[in-house]
């Protein structure tokens, strides 16, 4: 599989963002395999994760390393097709034959997300180690009723993957964005390339911009929306976010035909030099640099605040987690593996494989020579919000945002209509 194909797959699974069914229709809790306190250490367990090719992943590499360091432990690796992973896990959990440990998605945004699975009684609570490494501000993505059901594996910064072109400095405020869009467009290129026909990508763009418009001033905005203390329609920050997208479209910030483009437009636009940057998860930066074969140097940037005086803020979330099936009879062995995975050495190894940030010990990591250098201060200062979609009430809200931004690009929707649609979808 070529690096370009791998990049397209990665963009296609900006999965922490893709809207999928949340309700586990007809699901019932798995047969209770007992708590770790009542089980013995069987020194064996199974581990499931999704794959899209034959390349050995961090999941597999670290499982093998664990067995090497712990002779006598046997891990059965269950590789599931990435395209159907969420549906397969859900089906197995409902049938009571899921792997002991499996990959989940933090929050509520996916069919295999931690919160809905835990509420359905399908996950076993984890120990304090998992609680200690929950990324800042992301407790709600991993806990239900005070218990932790998912162990974060990495952190991805969601922002702009940006090519360091001579003479094209990254803008420091929004007016700078509009000015740079115009100058780049005059060269026959676009400052940003977007998959305008894919709601997951237009939604990512909106959330990235909302970091400074909404969450810099009010980091708990999502909780307030959940409590009914505000709405999207009443939010000046969300209105400004969408108005800025309209302004960017008018300024020529996106490629021609952006409203009908798919993920291949991003891959081709960036690797062929027709566009300078994109909106998406930080892991894509390493993929694009490899795909570009030395002809470009991409790094990770936070979208500029409205003015240079406004607080700079970003979006950073754990993209993957490990959970233990409620019906597992190997919870002791499984929990020992998760405790091992939480250590800085393993956290770093997994993040290196994924092109993301270690979930533990990252405060001590030197990012100065990495793609994360431009956002190092934001990361270490905790100046970021978890991906908003992970805390929203249901996937339909994100569908409304993604489709709404598409409507803004085509002129078929107004800002007020999009915000009203999001509130209606909240339910």
Calculate mean pLDDT across residues 231-250: 98
Q: Where does CATH 3.40.190.10 sit in the chain?
A: 3-153+318-360, 158-316+384-426
pLDDT of 15 above 80: no
The answer to which of 25-29, 43-47, 136-140, 185-189 has the lowest mean pLDDT is: 25-29
pLDDT of 50 above 50: yes
Query: Is residue 200 within 8 Å of residue 110, measured between CB atoms?
Result: no
Query: Is residue 156 within 8 Å of residue 281, measured between CB atoms?
Result: yes
Query: Is residue 138 within 8 Å of residue 114, measured between CB atoms?
Result: no
Beta-ladder partners of 216: none
The CA distance from 233 to 24, in Å, is: 30
User: pLDDT (tens digit, 9 = 90+) per residue, 405-427?
Assistant: 999 999 999 999 999 999 999 98
Calculate mean pLDDT across residues 192-218: 95
pLDDT tier, 20 (very low <50, low <70, confident <90, very high otherwise):
very low
The CA distance from 145 to 46, in Å, is: 27
Reported as type and span, the H/E element at residue 223 is helix 221-226
User: pLDDT (tens digit, 9 = 90+) per residue, 97-106?
Assistant: 999 999 998 9
For the chain, give the percent of residues with pLDDT over 70: 90
Calculate mean pLDDT across residues 263-275: 88
Calculate mean pLDDT across residues 2-25: 39
CATH topology of domain 3-153+318-360: D-Maltodextrin-Binding Protein; domain 2 (3.40.190)
- The pTM of this model reads 0.80
The CA distance from 238 to 244, in Å, is: 10
- How high does pLDDT run on average in the chain? 88
pLDDT for the residue numbered 74: 98
The CA distance from 77 to 49, in Å, is: 8
Helix (H, G, I), strand (E, B) or coil at 417: helix
User: pLDDT (tens digit, 9 = 90+) per residue, 350-393?
Assistant: 998 888 899 988 778 888 888 899 999 999 898 999 989 888 88
pLDDT of 253 above 80: yes
Reported as type and span, the H/E element at residue 341 is helix 331-341
Query: What CATH class does 158-316+384-426 carry?
Result: alpha beta
For the chain, give the percent of residues with pLDDT over 90: 67
Say if strands 44-51 and 74-81 run parallel, antiparallel, or are unpaired: parallel
The CA distance from 368 to 300, in Å, is: 12
The answer to which of 15-29, 118-132, 203-217 has the lowest mean pLDDT is: 15-29
Phi-psi region of 44 (alpha: psi -120 to 50; beta: other; left: phi over 0): beta
**Closest of 299, 419, 274 to residue 368, by C-alpha:** 299
């Amino acid at each position: 599989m070529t690096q370009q194909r791998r990049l397209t797959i990665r963009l296609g699974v900006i999965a922490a963002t893709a809207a999928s069914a949340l309700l586990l229709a007809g699901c019932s809790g798995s047969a209770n395999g007992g708590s770790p306190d009542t089980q013995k250490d069987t020194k064996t367990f199974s581990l499931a994760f999704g794959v899209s090719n034959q390349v050995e992943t961090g999941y597999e590499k670290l499982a093998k390393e664990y067995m090497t360091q712990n002779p006598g432990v046997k891990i059965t690796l269950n590789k599931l097709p990435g395209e159907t992973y969420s549906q397969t896990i859900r089906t197995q959990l409902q049938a009571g034959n899921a792997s002991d440990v499996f990959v989940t998605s933090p929050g509520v945004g996916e069919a295999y997300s931690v919160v809905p699975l835990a509420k359905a009684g399908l996950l076993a609570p984890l120990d304090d180690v998992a609680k200690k490494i929950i990324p800042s501000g992301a407790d709600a993505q991993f806990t239900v009723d005070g218990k932790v059901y998912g162990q974060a594996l990495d952190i991805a910064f969601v922002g702009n993957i940006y090519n360091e072109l001579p003479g094209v400095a990254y803008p420091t405020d929004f007016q700078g964005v509009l000015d740079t869009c115009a100058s780049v467009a005059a060269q026959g290129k676009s400052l940003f390339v977007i998959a305008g026909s894919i709601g997951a990508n237009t939604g990512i763009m909106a959330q990235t911009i909302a970091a400074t418009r909404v969450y810099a001033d009010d980091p708990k905005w999502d909780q307030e929306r959940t409590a009914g203390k505000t709405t999207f329609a009443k939010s000046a920050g969300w209105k400004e976010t969408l108005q800025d997208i309209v302004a960017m479209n008018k300024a020529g910030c996106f490629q021609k035909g952006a409203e009908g483009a798919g993920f291949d437009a991003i891959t081709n636009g960036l690797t062929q030099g027709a566009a300078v940057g994109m909106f998406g998860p930080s892991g894509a930066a390493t993929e694009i640099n490899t795909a570009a074969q030395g002809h470009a140097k991409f790094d990770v940037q936070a979208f500029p605040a409205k003015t240079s005086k406004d607080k700079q803020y970003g979006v950073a979330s754990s993209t993957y987690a490990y959970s233990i099936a409620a019906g597992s009879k190997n919870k002791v062995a499984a929990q020992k593996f998760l405790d091992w995975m939480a250590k800085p050495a393993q956290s770093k190894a997994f993040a290196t494989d994924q092109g993301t940030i270690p979930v533990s010990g990252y405060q001590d990591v030197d990012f100065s020579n990495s793609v994360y250098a431009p956002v190092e201060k934001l990361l270490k200062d905790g100046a970021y919000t978890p991906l908003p979609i992970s805390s929203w009430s249901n996937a339909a809200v994100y569908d409304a945002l993604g489709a709404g931004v598409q409507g803004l690009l085509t002129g078929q929707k107004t800002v007020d209509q999009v915000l009203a649609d999001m509130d209606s979808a909240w339910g």
